[in-house]
Structure 1
Amino acid sequence: MIEVEDLEKVFVVRRRAGRLRRTKHEVRAVGGISFAVPRGEVVGYIGPNGAGKSTTIKMLTGILTPSSGRLRVAGIDPSRERTRLARRIGVVFGQRTTLWWDLPLLDSYRLMRRMYRIPDDRYRANLERCTEQLGLGELLEVPVRQLSLGQRMRGDIAAALLHDPEVLYLDEPTIGLDVLSKAKVREFLRELNADRGTTVLLTTHDLSDIEQLCRRVMVIDHGRLMYDGGLDGLHAVGESERMLVVDLERELPPIDVAGCRTVRVEGPRQWLAFPAGASAAPLVAEVAERWPLVDLSVREPDIEDVIARMYA
């Protein structure tokens, strides 16, 4: 569904070099990335601010023209056939709404029905589905400017799906949402992908979205693709660690076991770190045999820590 090969985007920036002189400098926002996304896959596309995520999305939608490389979405060159592509994609850009600010939410949807020439029966079915699953029933007659950020985000997601796009680009789709609303949006996206096979490219700083929605993740930094694979592989690349939390009968010196390190001691409780890819069974067996054990638990690595290690 998405094919990217050696994609580059270079911006020319003019900087002051005296009172009247300006010099040209090139800023490489995206530097030769390549990837492919099959139909129906949900992919997380993450990176720090300024990494090139939004620039990539804008090239995939046709808003920006690549400096070089090859790009196809549903077999279409976005920069050459942007209007044709618009009927096959849906886009939600975080802080930028596609809704009409002074109109009620429902009026924005009616305008979009005419813009995309959506058949009446399909429009009604999609609107009903989005309204029910995203909790928009009480908001349809409310002007967009009176909606909270979280309510508007749900409204934008519905707007992006009224015309049944084959590809959905989501930039921070759960920003401003409370815990219950986040869960509702995630469940909606899971059902959308399962029922309709919609291809989803998700950029977010909330890594819980990635863990709950994506089997594959791409990490971009300084315009280059650092990682492309599953979450398990991400832990391996990021050299993440699992944590064995041990409760002893009494306070003792730090536990010394091969293959792990004691990172923290608080009274009779100790925290032992070991590689995420290693089995906990030998470690647990040795601790139980050599120390007066009361209780223990194994904590999985936090994906946020993994990503932070990669950026560092």
Structure 2
Amino acid sequence: MDGVSLSIGRGEMVGYIGPNGAGKSTTLKMLTGVLTPSSGDVSVCGLAPVPQRTRLALRIGVVFGQRSQLWWDLPLRESFRLLRHIYRVPAAEHAARLRRCRSLLDLDAFLDTPVRQLSLGQRMRGELTAALLHGPEVLFLDEPTIGLDVVSKQAVRSFLAELGSSGDVTLVLTTHDLADIERLCERLVVIDHGRVVHDGSIEALHARYGSRRSIVADLAEPLPDGFELPGTTLAGVTANGHRVTFVLESSTAGAAVAGLVAAVDVRDLSLLEPDIEDVVARLYSATGAP
């Protein structure tokens, strides 16, 4: 790590992304007390993660997409019961939190199924529940939707969005699935080669790295030869010339649309927002990331 300095407030939902080898997992391991930083200071919930790791464990939850905190051969319900005793959670609090997770994550159909027989999507819903039953103040999520099908991803994202909206839990999310970031996080931190290269909103990232909106129009007739729309670049022509895509360069969307409608017969039109994956690719290119 190279001079990384971050402060995350209570109740924030922060996306933490970067290319492979950028330092994401190293940061999470330092924040959760797995690794000791070689220099600098780390504080989570007012505690030093390594020397106060046992106390910290009672106040944070961790979900790693490739690792499990559930007992492989036990029914999911029994894993939850064991975790209640490990964290010494009062029975009434445990029951209330489990009830909420059962409802929002639709757990009842497989609560009595051994963990080893669960699908990946079912297991991830179980992992999220296990991480929350002791009422953590901070939840660290590392690739929580990796390998999940579309339905399972949506279930996990909806649950996390509901969780984050309450403001009771701080969420720190690392992922390669940028749709997770767009759906869940108001703040995005991008790290590259151990350095923070962006810390702000997704909108600020779009503005900083020149992401561009596109106009897709269905036309009654193909564009005339040599047609130009000021302030845009013609990016594609399909459907035998009847569908065209213009990328906004220096023009506003309103001016470009008005110019197009005035010049040709437009049957339908849509404005596409920039894809965050394209924006992050531009960022990595600008910073020399692999």
Normalised to the residue count of structure 2, the TM-score between the two structures is 0.92
Answer yes or no: is the 8 Å Cα contact 1:254–1:270 preserved in 2.
no
One-letter code aligned to 1:185: V
Say how many residue pairs are matched.
282
Aligned to 1:221: 192
How far residue 282 of structure 1 moved from its aligned partner, in angstroms, is 1.0
Q: Does 1:68 align with 2:39?
A: yes
Deviation digits for residues 153-182 of structure 1 (CA, Å, limit 9, x no counterpart): 111100000000000001111223332322
Aligned to 1:202: 173
Q: Does 1:273 align with 2:241?
A: no
Aligned to 2:288: none
One-letter code aligned to 2:38: S
CA distance in 2, matches of 1:190, 1:308: 26
Which residue, out of 10, 15, 24, partners 1:53? 24
One-letter code aligned to 2:260: V
Aligned to 1:118: 89
CA distance in 2, matches of 1:254, 1:145: 62
Aligned to 1:23: none
SS of the equivalent of 2:218 reads strand
Judged with a 3 Å threshold, the aligned counterparts in structure 2 of structure 1 residues 86 and 190 are, in CA distance, closer, same or farther, namely same
Which residue, out of 229, 234, 237, partners 1:257? 229
Unaligned runs of 5+ in 2: 286-290
How far residue 103 of structure 1 moved from its aligned partner, in angstroms, is 1.6
SS of the equivalent of 1:36 reads coil
CA distance in 2, matches of 1:255, 1:224: 45
Answer yes or no: is the 8 Å Cα contact 2:65–2:124 preserved in 1.
yes
Counterpart mapping for 1:130-279 below 5 A: 130-195=101-166, 197-251=168-222, 252-266=224-238, 267-275=241-249, 279=252
Which residue, out of 270, 273, 278, partners 1:297? 270
SS of the equivalent of 2:199 reads strand
Q: Larger deviation: 115-124 or 47-56?
A: 47-56
Deviation digits for residues 18-45 of structure 1 (CA, Å, limit 9, x no counterpart): xxxxxxxxxxxx2221111110010111
Answer yes or no: is the 8 Å Cα contact 1:94–1:171 preserved in 2.
yes
How far residue 92 of structure 1 moved from its aligned partner, in angstroms, is 0.2
One-letter code aligned to 1:202: L
SS of the equivalent of 2:20 reads coil
How far residue 249 of structure 1 moved from its aligned partner, in angstroms, is 3.0
How far residue 254 of structure 1 moved from its aligned partner, in angstroms, is 4.7
Which residue, out of 5, 11, 14, partners 1:43? 14
Judged with a 3 Å threshold, the aligned counterparts in structure 2 of structure 1 residues 194 and 297 are, in CA distance, closer, same or farther, namely closer
CA distance in 2, matches of 1:95, 1:278: 45
One-letter code aligned to 2:39: S
Q: Larger deviation: 281-290 or 176-185?
A: 176-185
SS of the equivalent of 1:73 reads coil
User: Which protein is richer in strand relative to its size?
Assistant: 1
Answer yes or no: is the 8 Å Cα contact 1:254–1:265 preserved in 2.
no
How far residue 293 of structure 1 moved from its aligned partner, in angstroms, is 3.3
CA distance in 2, matches of 1:254, 1:247: 18
% same residue: 56
Normalised to the residue count of structure 1, the TM-score between the two structures is 0.86
- RMSD (CA atoms): 1.6
Answer yes or no: is the 8 Å Cα contact 1:255–1:262 preserved in 2.
no
Deviation digits for residues 105-141 of structure 1 (CA, Å, limit 9, x no counterpart): 1221111111110001001111111122111112222
How far residue 196 of structure 1 moved from its aligned partner, in angstroms, is 5.1
Answer yes or no: is the 8 Å Cα contact 1:153–1:175 preserved in 2.
no
